């Protein structure tokens, strides 16, 4: 799949660099990102290149970001747009509903940006005439997920991203902790690292394979070692994610696995 090209229009250099880095890292190469400081420079880039998404600050030197996104939608309606601002008000919100697909007010979490981008570029997630806003990123659902990962930082990031997307998430740092959770709670998705200290997540899967089949738990194996992919097909695993894992890929997969009658032909 071709990477999604994104243009960020932001005159604060450090912020532009931070936003670009967050999108590149969060998508693990699924997004290519360019930046520029003004709407006028953005217009020139848009004449020379094709972007699937333009993210613009509202306050820019010269033409405003709102004027830019309105121009983009008028000239290339298929290009998605997100407006960001630190000066949000009711009048501006009323305008953005008919001018752009996404609207974020500063300060915002970088995870908010990733979720907003994912929603804006996904068909069916945007309703014409109403821009997606921060409150639209929060959702509640009844799906429970257990994340077994001994890397504290990675486990925390996965848990935070999944909770932000509305899932109820439990975290386990060891095989013993995971066994306790699996014995007391029924999960819709079990995300499992292969190597947990000196133990193996695959051994745990073998013990709970029958239970997972009975209650319909979808199993995702994570590993930096791609050779394991061929070894898990007979263990009831629904998907294999090779590290490093992008948050975009993780959240998309969770949504797909919790859809009714979702099947995967290729692991």
Tokens standing for residue 73? 């939608």
Asked if residue 16 is part of any domain, the answer here is yes
**Residue 264 falls inside a structural domain:** no
If pLDDT is split at 50, 70 and 90, which confidence band does 231 have?
low
260 — pLDDT class (breaks 50, 70, 90): low
Residue 267 in any domain: the answer is no
The residue out of 119, 137, 155 marking a domain boundary is 137
Lowest mean pLDDT among 66-75, 107-116, 229-238: 229-238
pLDDT of residue 169: 94
- Whether 47 and 149 map to the same domain: the answer is no
Q: Are residues 184 and 105 in the same domain?
A: no
The helix/strand/coil state of 194 is coil
Which residue among 137, 163, 185 closes a domain? 137
- Report residue 235's pLDDT band, with 50, 70 and 90 as the boundaries: low
- Average pLDDT in the 207-215 region? 90
**pLDDT score, position 265:** 43
Q: Of the candidates 27, 22, 26, which has an alpha carbon nearest to the alpha carbon of residue 2? A: 27
Please tell me the predicted confidence (pLDDT) of residue 178.
Answer: 94
237 CB-near residues (< 8 Å, 6+ apart): 205, 219, 220, 221, 267
Overall average pLDDT of the 257-263 stretch:
67
Could you tell me if residue 100 is inside a domain? yes
Does any domain span residue 70?
Answer: yes
Do 18 and 113 fall within a single domain? yes
Computed over every residue of the chain, the mean pLDDT equals 87
Whole-prediction pTM value?
Answer: 0.68
**pLDDT (tens digit, 9 = 90+) per residue, 77-91?**
999 999 999 877 777
Could you tell me if 130 and 150 lie in one domain? no
Q: Are residues 8 and 133 in the same domain?
A: yes
- pLDDT: is 49 or 259 the higher one? 49
Return d(Cα 190, Cα 213) in angstroms, integer: 12
Tokens matching residue 241 = 């994610």
Shared domain for 88 and 154, answered yes or no, is no
Confidence of residue 267 (pLDDT cuts 50, 70, 90): very low
Give the integer Cα–Cα distance in Å for 17 and 8.
9
- Percent of the chain at pLDDT > 90 equals 49
From 114, 137, 160, the end of a domain falls on: 137
Distances (CA, A) of 186 to 38, 41, 122, 221: 51, 53, 30, 18
Indicate whether 34 pLDDT > 70. yes
Per-residue burial over 131-152, b = 16 or more CB atoms within 10 Å of its CB, e = otherwise: bbbbebbeeeeebbbbbbbbee
Inside any domain, residue 95: yes
Q: Are residues 167 and 46 in the same domain?
A: no
Is residue 14 assigned to a domain?
yes
Residue range 41-62, pLDDT digits in tens: 999 999 999 999 999 999 999 9
d(CA 223, CA 245): 9
Within 13 Å and on the Cβ side, how many CA atoms surround 55? 29
**Structural domain for 202, as ranges:** 144-257
For residue 264, is pLDDT > 50? no
Q: Which of 46-55, 162-171, 230-239 has the lowest mean pLDDT?
A: 230-239
Task: Give yes or no: residues 30 and 118 share one domain.
Answer: yes
> From the CB of residue 244, how many other CB atoms can be counted at a distance below 10 Å?
11
- Comparing CA positions, the residue from 253, 228, 147 lying closest to residue 190 is 147
Alpha carbons within 13 A on the beta-carbon side of 101: 24
Q: Would you place residue 106 in the very low, low, confident or very high pLDDT band (cuts 50, 70, 90)?
A: confident
The domain that holds 58 is classified in CATH as 3.40.50.2300
158 domain-assigned: yes
Between 65-75 and 39-48, two packed helices, what is the crossing angle to 10 degrees?
20
Number of folded domains that form the chain: 2
pLDDT tens by residue, 114-166: 889 988 998 777 777 788 888 887 766 679 999 999 999 989 999 988 988 88
What is the distance of C-alpha 68 from the center of its chain?
26
163 in the same domain as 129: no
CA distances from 229 to 25, 132, 240 (A): 24, 37, 6
Asked if residue 196 and residue 83 are part of one domain, the reply reads: no
> Does residue 123 share a domain with residue 14?
yes
Looking at the fold, whether 151 and 117 belong to one and the same domain comes out as no
């Amino acid at each position: 799949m071709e990477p999604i090209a994104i243009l960020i229009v932001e005159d604060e250099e450090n912020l532009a660099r931070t936003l670009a880095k967050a999108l590149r890292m969060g998508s693990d190469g699924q997004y290519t990102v360019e930046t520029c400081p003004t709407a006028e420079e953005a217009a020139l880039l848009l004449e020379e290149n094709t972007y699937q998404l333009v993210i613009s600050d509202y306050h820019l030197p010269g033409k405003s970001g709102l004027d830019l996104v309105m121009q983009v939608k008028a000239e290339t309606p298929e290009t998605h747009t997100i407006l960001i601002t630190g000066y949000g008000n009711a009048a501006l919100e009323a305008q953005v509903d008919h001018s752009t697909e996404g609207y974020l007010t500063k300060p915002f979490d970088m995870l908010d940006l990733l979720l907003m981008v994912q929603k804006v570029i996904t068909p069916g997630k945007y309703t014409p005439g109403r821009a997606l806003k921060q409150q639209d990123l929060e959702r509640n659902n009844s799906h429970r997920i257990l994340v077994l990962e001994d890397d504290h930082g990675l486990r925390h990031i996965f848990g935070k991203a999944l909770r932000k997307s509305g899932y109820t998430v439990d975290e386990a740092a060891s095989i013993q902790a995971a066994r306790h959770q699996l014995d007391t709670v029924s999960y819709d998705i079990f995300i499992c690292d292969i190597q947990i200290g000196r133990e193996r997540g695959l051994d745990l899967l073998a013990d709970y394979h029958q239970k997972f089949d009975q209650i319909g738990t979808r199993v995702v194996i994570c590993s930096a070692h791609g050779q394991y992919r061929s070894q898990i097909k007979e263990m009831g695993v629904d998907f294999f994610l090779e590290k490093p894992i992008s948050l975009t890929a993780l959240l998309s997969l969770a949504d797909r696995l919790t859809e009714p009658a979702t099947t995967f032909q290729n692991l």
